[in-house]
Amino acid sequence: MNTQAIRTEPAHPAPRAVVLAFEGVLAPVDVLPATLEPRAREELGPFLEQRADDPLVRRTLADLRAYAGREMDEAELRVRIDAWIRAGQDISPLRQLEGLIWTEILEQGALRPELDADTVAALTRLARAGIAIYSFGATPVTTQREWLRRGPDRNFEARLAGFFDTRMGGRRDAGSFGRLVTESGLEPEQVLVLSPDSRQLDAARQGWLRTACLPASGGSATGTDTASDHPIATLAELAANWGSTT
């Protein structure tokens, strides 16, 4: 694996935007299987009973039935949803349903999100330098926002230029990053994608975006053995290179 950090390349120009993997940068890399998905399974039944007449919930359930490709009664659908959650499926309407549950849990204070203060400080320096910060995750946008609002800096969420989720497409699909670039109004070479997952970085590279691998616990990338194609960088190094000190 190439361990040369971006900070050792002084000629490398600053990007106009940095896209962060929500799961792995702004939240723990295992936040979905370890924290959010178990809570969604636990709260699914009570949530559906309490929100049975909510138009958004009804529409999302209709989308899930359409995805399944056949009609199912309420009991069958709950069993299928539970199975999809246990399997960690990135099905867009499933993630939106989970997001409704997670956002409600966060709003009630029943889940305390973690966000390292050093991460907030480094990203704030980049934002103050005029670099647009975006978040892209399997976790729905509403949950991403609520997670950041309840971190160590309640104003941090407002500093991000935008949020993306599976409605943009899969995180390991090059087309998703192409759509993300179009949405940002920038050129691919002006956008840096930062993630500990090499498969996400591979997809971004296929879309001609710049990439950097954030070391995961133990100093290695997750995913396939392709991280050697991506320079290694920490948020502190990016902030030291390109961030504002004011």
Cα–Cα nearest to 136, from 172, 186, 100: 172
Distance CA 188, CA 210 (A): 7
Q: Is the confidence at residue 70, as pLDDT, over 90? A: no
Half-sphere exposure of 218 (CA within 13 A, CB side): 4
Show me where the domains of the chain are located: 6-27+114-242, 32-107
Mean pLDDT value across residues 192-210? 93
DSSP-based three-state secondary structure for 212: strand
The predicted pLDDT at position 228 comes to 56
Residue range 6-27+114-242 in CATH 3.40.50.2000: no
pLDDT band at 7 (very low <50, low <70, confident <90, very high): very low
Q: Is the confidence at residue 159, as pLDDT, over 70? A: yes
**Rg of the chain, C-alpha, whole Å:** 19
The predicted pLDDT at position 115 comes to 84
The amino acid sitting at 30 is D
Q: What's the pTM value of the predicted model, to 2 decimals? A: 0.86
In the numeric block, which tokens belong to residue 20?
């962060």
Q: What is the DSSP string of 114-179?
A: ---HHHHHHHHHHHHTT-EEEEE-SS-HHHHHHHHHTSS-TTGGGGSSEEE-GGG--TT-HHHHHH
Which pairs with CB-CB distance under 8 Å and at least 24 residues apart come from 99-102? Answer: 99/139, 99/140, 99/141, 99/142, 99/143, 99/165, 100/47, 100/51, 100/56, 100/57, 100/60, 100/142, 101/39, 101/40, 101/43, 101/44, 101/47, 102/36, 102/39, 102/40, 102/139, 102/140, 102/143, 102/146
